[in-house]
Amino acid sequence: MGFSGGGSNVLLPHTHDGRVSQDGGPLNFSNITQSQSAAGEVFYSDGTALQQLVYPAVPAGETLTALAASTAPSWNAAAAGTNNRVILDSQTFTASTTSTITFTPGTPIDDSVYQKIQIVFTGDGLGNTITRAKFNLDAGLLNTDYFENSIEVYNGSASYVNKNPQDPGDVYVRLTDILANGGETWIATVDVQLPSAGQDRTSIYYQIATHDRVANGSGYVINLNTPGAIERFQISMDGNLAKDMQFTVYGIKH
């Protein structure tokens, strides 16, 4: 039935359907239609009639939420964000003469909490020549064997490494031959997959770059000193570290 009562001053039932003649037309929600509501209120249906949900008096980042077993929306404090990346160790070297950077966790790290470990180290040569960066994973180095497949690109030429534990001195993964020379800046990341309980092996992936070379490779470590866990993370250099060297170990949680 139409909006007009045909001469009667009684307002007849209507739906504000613009497709029906004299039905009042559609409501205009673009700053035209008014209601007895306060600023910010949200309308919802309880199944019978429209209800109003008051806007928070002191907004503090609440979210409109459908709580479990509820029948209406509500404003609730926003859930705290989950940080799956945490810093386990961070070291800065200022005028150091050491040739190694080491992180030894108080308790060997396994996969009960972390999916993997990521090591990021950066720096520059500051006039020094630092050659052959090496990555040692476990404290029982003499009991650990490293496989490695890698590629290094320098001056447009690529060199390849395919290493197995039968080679002499394979107690590390070689990240690159020449890391920094005469003050070059560099950055490297090493991702270490954490072994499950009882496993005596794990995988490594690394990438490293200076202004004129890049190296990418993967390693495979067997005979971990502590099966199912890792005891140590170490970067070794043939040459001494100078200042402005940064070494950070991140734990990536499940």
pLDDT digits (tens, 9 = 90+) for 149-170: 999 998 889 999 888 876 666 7
Q: Which CATH architecture has domain 85-253?
A: Sandwich (2.60)
The stretches in the chain having pLDDT less than 70 are 1-8, 95-96, 125-129, 141-142, 166-169, 181-183, 241-243
pLDDT, residue 120, reads 95
Yes or no: say if 121 and 248 are a contact pair by the CB < 8 Å rule.
yes
User: Which residue, chain included where needed, has tokens 């080491």?
Assistant: 102
pLDDT, residue 44, reads 93
pLDDT, residue 245, reads 78
pLDDT, residue 182, reads 63
C-alpha 198/C-alpha 133 separation (Å) is 30
Domain boundary assignment for the chain: 1-34, 45-76, 85-253
- Amino acid present at 40: G
**Strand bridging mode 173-181 / 185-193:** unpaired
How far from 197 is each of 84, 108, 167, CA to CA, in Å?
21, 12, 29
pLDDT, residue 138, reads 81
